[in-house]
Amino acid sequence: MSEVRSTAQWQELDAKHHLHPFTDFKDLAEKGSRIIVKAEGVYIYDSEGNQILDGMAGLWCCNLGYDRKEIVDAVQQQLTELPFYNNFFQCSHPPSIELSRLITEIAPEHMNNVFYTNSGSEANDTVIRMIHRFWDLQEQPQRKTIIARKNGYHGSTIAAGSLGGMNGMHKQYATLPGIEHIDQPYWFGEGGDMDPAEFGVQVARQLEAKIDELGADKVAAFIAEPIQGAGGVIVPPETYWPEISRICKEKGILLVCDEVICGFGRTGEWFGSSYYGAEPDLMPFAKGVTNGYQPLGGVLVSDRVADVLKSKGGEFTHGFTYSGHPAACAAAIATIKSLREGKHIERVREETGPYLQKRWAELAEHPLVGETRGVGFLAALELVKNKETRERFDDDCTAGAICRDACTESGLVMRAVGDMMVVAPPLTMTKEQIDELVEKAKKALDITL
Ligand code: PLP
């Protein structure tokens, strides 16, 4: 249990000793942080006693919300029984074995193996090493280049950050060689007058052009999020994924679908790639796998890749002390069972997802909103100065920041990505709570106006 302190005391200590992720430290010290002290259901509570509807499921991860006793109990029991043992050097333990069985049961049929990490970033680092190992074992070691997308997010280690295509991140860190970026399927921002379906095909074909430019025998893989999350919930046109799948198959390159956000129910399917009918060779995952209660990530590996890794022999020189940590695996087992038994994903697919999308679409009528979009329990809107011309506010994205602060004032967590506002609520949100979310978002838009 933490000490009992006043908000001001927490803020002072925080500013003095704590360097936060993705934060302007100077700004934080000046404004002070918001201290979140407890959470229940789909609400969080700050140190001033304010109740806030969590439209972001923590950080796209608490898909079952905040009061899952079954997950807490599973972790507690595991910590009592076997708090730690590793999976190195021919050792294993029941929770990591059981989770592997369970996770491959919910995964697409052709994915029957899993490699564990502690986070999504490490999962994507693992992807790079596994891809290189696969092609080396296939005696095609020249296949090293990975094609990724501009504005994609795959994590913040040097390797995962290099796969990602966010300019701000690339400016601050050295990036790995051998990674190329093509455009994102962002119709509202980049589609111009083109029909979305035509735009989807055209952007997908950039992959084909890039492979041809580099030489197909040099390209190892293409990586993408089924729906770009941190980049602003960029929902691709329906034509995009079928074309990407065709190109990867024809060119023989591996397809990697980063399921860190889309996985574990967010689209109304277990995985975002299944929603689009794509058949990935590798699927990095994290976040929702443990409902955010324990740090765990991993890579689901297709038979195409696993058969080569397993049959050719030789050590895969990669892994982490906590790969498949028993308590994290226990949390994941309990999460998957809960998602299944509570039929939460089915409800998002058939009932609450369509309801959220219907209510969210009402926001498009607001004078500040240029577009609303979404799938399942993922949604975004575009703040614009002029609805007809899609003219944006100034480059410094102040409208997004103002709207985010207005949401906080209205008792809602909604995230600003530049001038896009995004939500990814817990899958357990009821229709009444969805109404509350939309009403609070409307109020915040009015304040921003
Ligand atoms: N991949 C995607 C698609 C993500 O959205 C994220 C985090 O938001 C990551 C990878 C990185 O995950 P982590 O923050 O657990 O390292």
CA–centroid distance, residue 443 to ligand 1 (Å): 30
Structural domain of residue 220, as residue ranges? 70-341
Q: Output the CA 224–ligand 1 centroid distance in Å.
A: 12
Is 246 domain-assigned?
A: yes
286 in contact with ligand 1, CB cutoff 6 A: yes
CATH no. for residue 173? 3.40.640.10
352 — pLDDT class (breaks 50, 70, 90): very high
| Ligand 1 atom index nearest CA of 262 | 3
Tell me, yes or no, whether 14 lies in a domain: no
Q: Within this chain, do residues 335 and 404 fall inside the same structural domain, yes or no? A: no
The whole-number pLDDT of residue 397 equals 67
Give the ligand 1 atom nearest the CA of 225: 3
Residues 383 and 396: their CA atoms lie apart, in Å, by: 13
Residue range 28-59, pLDDT digits in tens: 889 999 999 999 999 999 999 999 999 999 99
119 CB under 6 A from ligand 1? yes
Q: Say what percent of the chain tops pLDDT 90.
A: 92
322's torsion region: left (phi>0), alpha (psi -120 to 50) or beta?
A: alpha
Does residue 154 line the site of ligand 1, with CB under 6 A? yes
Which single residue is written with the structure tokens 């129910």? 265
**Ligand 1 contacts CB of residue 230 (under 6 A):** yes
219 lines ligand 1 (CB under 6 A): no
pLDDT tens by residue, 267-293: 999 999 999 999 999 999 999 999 999
Q: Same structural domain for residues 200 and 282?
A: yes
Q: Is 298 in the pocket of ligand 1 (CB under 6 A)?
A: no
147-187: pLDDT as tens digits: 999 999 999 999 999 999 998 899 898 899 999 999 999 99
Question: What is the 153 CA–ligand 1 centroid distance (Å)?
Answer: 7
The dihedral through the CA atoms of 179, 183, 186, 189 has a sign that is positive
Residue 320 and residue 360: Cα distance in Å, rounded?
Answer: 41
Does residue 186 fall inside a structural domain? yes
Q: What CA–CA distance (Å, rounded) separates 89 from 442?
A: 56
Distances (CA, A) of 319 to 126, 215, 259, 311, 398: 8, 31, 20, 19, 42
Q: Enter the DSSP assignment of 400.
A: H
Q: How far apart are CA 106 and CA 192, in angstroms?
A: 39
Ligand 1 centroid–CA 161 distance in Å is: 10
Do residue 228 and residue 348 come from a single domain? no
- For the CA of 119, the closest atom of ligand 1 is 15
Of 310, 341, 372, which one is at a domain's C-terminal end?
Answer: 341
pLDDT tens-digit profile of 390-449? Answer: 888 876 668 899 999 999 989 999 999 999 999 999 999 999 999 999 999 999 999 988
Q: What's the whole-model pTM score? A: 0.97
